[in-house]
Amino acid sequence: MRELGVERNTNYKILFYLDSSAMISVHTQRYGLVDVKPLGVIWGKFKEYSAKNTIMFDDIRKNFLMNPQNGLRIRAFREAHKNRDSDRELYYLAKYLKRISILEDFSSLNHRHWQRMILGDDL
């Protein structure tokens, strides 16, 4: 987020973001002990936000274990110095977010296939 200038650029309309310092550890049958990002903490502090209007972006799907319906996996931005001009992930993500912004409730969306929607598939 720092590399993208999110903290300093007023054109970004992001209320807040969580990094690895906000993660908690949970034990799962499938993965054992893993760190996850608990959206319930946000929903508990900010009543205007819920599963209906929250999407978490991350390049690691396990981070969504506590709130899988709200997770949207994006590709990692690697080797920025080499890929800056060819990486289109955030461009496509912006198109997806604009398209779903008309919805009152995101909880019925399947974000797992969000890129298909950009290529013309329906919700």
The answer to whether residue 122 sits within a structural domain is: no
The answer to whether residue 9 sits within a structural domain is: yes
The torsion angles phi and psi of 71, rounded to 5 degrees, stand at: -95, 140
Query: CA angle, 6 as apex, 19 and 76 as ends, to 5°?
Result: 55
Classified as helix, coil or strand, 59 is coil
Q: What is the pLDDT of residues 76-119, one digit of tens each?
A: 876 656 666 777 788 888 899 999 999 999 988 989 888 887 77
**What does the mean pLDDT of the chain come to?**
84
Predicted TM-score (pTM) of the model is 0.76
Cα-to-chain-centroid distance, residue 121? 20
The answer to whether residue 123 sits within a structural domain is: no
pLDDT tier, 33 (very low <50, low <70, confident <90, very high otherwise): very high
CATH number, domain containing residue 52: 3.40.50.1000
The answer to whether residue 30 sits within a structural domain is: yes
| Count of domains observed in the chain | 1
The answer to whether residue 75 sits within a structural domain is: yes
Q: How far apart are CA 42 and CA 49, in angstroms?
A: 8
The answer to whether residue 47 sits within a structural domain is: yes
- Min mean pLDDT across 19-23, 26-30, 58-62, 84-88 is at 84-88
Structural element, H or E, at residue 34? strand 32-36
Give the range of the structural domain holding residue 34, as residue numbers without chain letter: 2-117
- If you count DSSP H runs as helices and E runs as strands, how many of each does the chain have, helices first? 4, 4
